[in-house]
Amino acid sequence: MGEFDLIRRFFTRPTPKAVLGVGDDCALLQSAPGMQTAISTDMLVGGRHFFADTEPQALGHKCLAVNLSDLAACGARPLAFTLALALPEANEAWLAPFAHGLLALADAHGCELIGGDTTRGPLNICITVFGEVPAQRASTRNMPVPTSALLRSGAQAGDDIYVSGTLGDAALALQALLGRVALPPALLAQARQRLERPSPRVALGQALRGVASACADVSDGLVGDLGHILERSGLGAELEVDRVLPLLAARAHYSSGPAQFDQHLGAAWDAQNSQALALQCVLAGGDDYELVFCAAPTERAAVQEAATQSDTPVTRIGTMQAAPGLRLVDGLGRSVAPELASFDHFSAANDRPQGPA
């Protein structure tokens, strides 16, 4: 199967939103009047971002999901994407389910495959995704550029901090798959779904335009990605451990109860702190593809309305503060600060066989 046959068979589809799709030197997009194009790119490398034997349908889903998650973080509506693919060989038994998983998610979000590149090489999947946001600035917010997109900058001291969905189960599944922790089979299956088939929060992101003051997607871990908001907004934050710990679904659903989860799994992980495993997963796990965002306390009803409208649970976990740094506090406001760093692709300390995109 040659390069052009491969593209024709697996990756050429109707593109009603685009002026021109796959098959020419360039694709052509035309923005609707008053709209901006949001653009993000993510590269997933075999053996680093996913196990070499990952089921190709799940992989196809995930490599687009991680890009859609960036659009969600900006509040953009998905439009289109390009796919560049390096493959060790043109293996139809791999390509067919890969394309199926990829395009099923694309169809679910109305995101059209408009172009790409295929070549031989170590497995590498690079997607660039395009979405649209209205250009006019939301009147309630003090944005550095004229846009209604959600940015990492824009949060104010006193803003509430929220996160969507649950956090840390993908990281827990990874630890289990690496043999570092043993999970009951039903919990492992659920956690593994989070690792392999993340659901980008595209509807929530759009519903938060004009409501959230800042937003980022949680791909490298909550501490790291909230850290981007702190840095860009020039602020610090306080997170409440009692609001954060229940976000680990596996812990919340552990049959003998969350305290037993901490005792059985956390203690095996770190005898000094039976909650260390849960905290590590929730705060610095990565691969969550949830949204972390800030909003003024006056927007609490609007945040709940956005959550309801997008059918996405959100949890208030802390407060933005003028003092720099990120503090984790217990119910009495006492610091409970473990040494937690977010995943960094070039930090040797975090080098591991799989990491988030």
Angle CA 95–101–106, to nearest 5 = 115
Our finding on whether 324 is near a copy of itself (CB under 8 A) is: no
The terminus-to-terminus CA distance of the chain in angstroms comes to 30
Name 275's Cβ contacts closer than 8 Å, sequence gap at least 6. Answer: 245, 262, 266
Stretch that binds a copy of itself, among 102-110, 114-122, 161-169, 235-243 (CB under 8 A): 114-122
- Selected from 115, 200, 266, 318, the binder of a copy of itself by CB under 8 A is 115
Quick one: which of 182, 257, 345, 353 contacts a copy of itself (CB under 8 A)?
345
| Total of residues contacting a copy of itself (CB under 8 A) | 74
Which residues ranging from 209 to 248 are in contact with a copy of itself (CB under 8 A)?
215-217, 232
Q: Given the complex with a copy of itself, which of 106 and 216 has the nearer CB atom? A: 216
Member of 73, 230, 303, 328 binding a copy of itself (CB under 8 A): 73
Cα 252 to chain centroid, rounded: 21
Segment 119-148, which members bind a copy of itself (CB under 8 A)? 119-122, 124, 126, 128, 130-131, 133, 135, 145-147
Among 30, 142, 304, 335, binds a copy of itself (CB under 8 A): 30
Which residues 253-312 are close enough to bind a copy of itself by CB under 8 A?
none
Question: Where does 255-299 have alpha helices with state H?
Answer: 258-261, 267-269, 276-284
Among 12, 13, 17, 43, binds a copy of itself (CB under 8 A): 43
| 24: contact with a copy of itself by CB under 8 A | yes
The least CB distance from residue 251 to a copy of itself, in Å, is 28
Q: Is 28 in the site for a copy of itself (CB under 8 A)?
A: yes
Stretch that binds a copy of itself, among 65-73, 99-107, 300-308, 325-333 (CB under 8 A): 65-73
Pick the piece of the chain touching a copy of itself (CB under 8 A) from 39-47, 99-107, 179-187, 305-313: 39-47
Q: CA-CA-CA-CA torsion for 148, 150, 151, 157, nearest 10 degrees? A: 110
Interatomic CA distance for residues 206 and 194, integer angstroms: 22
Q: Segment contacting a copy of itself (CB under 8 A): 54-62, 73-81, 233-241, 314-322? A: 73-81
The DSSP secondary structure of 163-196, one letter per residue, reads EES--SHHHHHHHHHTTSS---HHHHHHHHHHHH
Q: Cα separation of 29 and 27, whole Å?
A: 7
C-beta of residue 195 within 8 angstroms of C-beta of residue 322: no
SS3 of residue 113 by DSSP: strand
Quote the crossing angle between the two packed helices 169-177 and 276-284, to the nearest 10°. Answer: 120
